[in-house]
């Protein structure tokens, strides 16, 4: 048995058709700037839908970002010591420019003469065990020019002299436990200076022992 076709039935069917057809048309023909945050579902936009290299700092709430893994190392810089010192020493405690530091230790038998230290640009220091417990120190100049040489010992008078290239200094004897200071300076517009601290010791296995520390600047 067929239902009677009425005006109301026709109008309701027509409205439904227009509603569905109009919605589909609107979805495929959206105007520019007509979709906003209210039209988007929550979490609707994924990373794959965002154009690469388009987000900037103003688009991101930096306070909500976690720590970047490699940046964790930089956090330790906040707890580092005083950046103006190295192991508690200021910059004046270190050699600058073309500075060099040398150290040497030598044990000698009685009347033995052996080079102790070669000083680049200056020459070498040669100690001789004169008798047990007494050392004599000689400087041989191979700098290429005349140098000013000085040696300050604990007991004897200081030795101060000009030593020509290829020449050697007079010697100053010093004994057990004594410390000598030697300075050698080249001449000219850009001089170099070597400062050497020499100490004789009896702790070695032979008749004489000596150790030295040298600093060369220039």
What confidence tens digit (pLDDT) does each residue in 123-157 have?
999 999 988 888 899 999 999 999 999 998 766 67
Query: What does the alpha-carbon distance between residue 200 and residue 212 come to, in Å, rounded to a whole number?
Result: 9
Of residues 24 and 144, more confidently modeled: 144
Beta-bridge partners for 107:
209
Query: What does the alpha-carbon distance between residue 151 and residue 179 come to, in Å, rounded to a whole number?
Result: 11
State how far the alpha carbon of 145 is from the alpha carbons of 151, 167, 184, 209, in Å.
Answer: 19, 10, 12, 31
Are 196 and 211 in contact by the 8 Å Cβ rule? The answer is: no
Give CA torsion, residues 201, 206, 208, 209, to 10 deg.
Answer: -40
What are the structural domains of the chain? 97-217 (2.60.40)
Q: What percent of the chain has pLDDT over 90?
A: 37
For residue 82, give the 3-state DSSP assignment.
Answer: coil
Mean pLDDT of the chain, nearest integer: 79
* Mean pLDDT score, 31-36: 70
Q: Would you put residue 154 in left (φ > 0), alpha (ψ -120 to 50) or beta? A: alpha
Beta-carbon count within 10 A of 129 CB: 24
What confidence tens digit (pLDDT) does each residue in 109-130 have?
999 999 999 999 999 999 999 8
What confidence tens digit (pLDDT) does each residue in 7-23 have?
666 566 655 555 555 55
From the list 129, 125, 128, 127, the residue with the least C-alpha distance to 147 is: 125
Query: What does the alpha-carbon distance between residue 183 and residue 194 come to, in Å, rounded to a whole number?
Result: 6
Provide the whole-model pTM: 0.56
Task: For residue 173, name the pLDDT band (cuts at 50, 70, 90).
Answer: confident
Task: For residue 162, name the pLDDT band (cuts at 50, 70, 90).
Answer: very high
Residues whose CB falls within 8 Å of the CB of residue 137, separated by 6 or more in sequence, listed in order:
125, 126, 127, 128, 151, 171, 172, 174, 180, 182, 198
Res 157: pLDDT: 76
């Amino acid at each position: 048995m067929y239902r009677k076709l009425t005006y109301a039935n026709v109008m309701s069917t027509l409205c439904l058709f227009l509603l569905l057809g109009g919605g589909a048309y609107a979805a495929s023909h959206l105007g520019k700037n007509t979709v906003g945050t209210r039209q988007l579902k929550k979490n609707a936009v994924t990373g794959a839908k965002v154009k690469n290299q388009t987000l900037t700092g103003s688009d991101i709430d930096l306070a909500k970002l976690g720590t970047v893994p490699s940046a964790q190392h930089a956090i330790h810089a906040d707890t580092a010591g005083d950046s103006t010192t190295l192991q508690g020493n200021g910059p004046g405690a270190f050699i600058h420019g073309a500075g060099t530091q040398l150290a040497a230790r030598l044990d000698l038998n009685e009347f033995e003469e052996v080079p102790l230290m070669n000083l680049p640009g200056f020459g070498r220091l040669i100690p001789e065990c004169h008798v047990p417990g007494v050392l004599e120190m000689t400087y041989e100049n191979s700098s290429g020019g005349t140098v000013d040489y000085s040696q300050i010992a604990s007991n004897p008078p200081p030795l101060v002299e000009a030593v020509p290239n290829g020449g050697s200094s007079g010697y100053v004897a010093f004994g057990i436990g004594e410390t000598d200071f030697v300075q050698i300076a080249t001449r000219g517009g850009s001089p170099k200076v070597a400062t050497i601290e020499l100490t004789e010791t009896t702790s070695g296995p032979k008749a004489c022992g000596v150790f030295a520390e040298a600093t060369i600047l220039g």
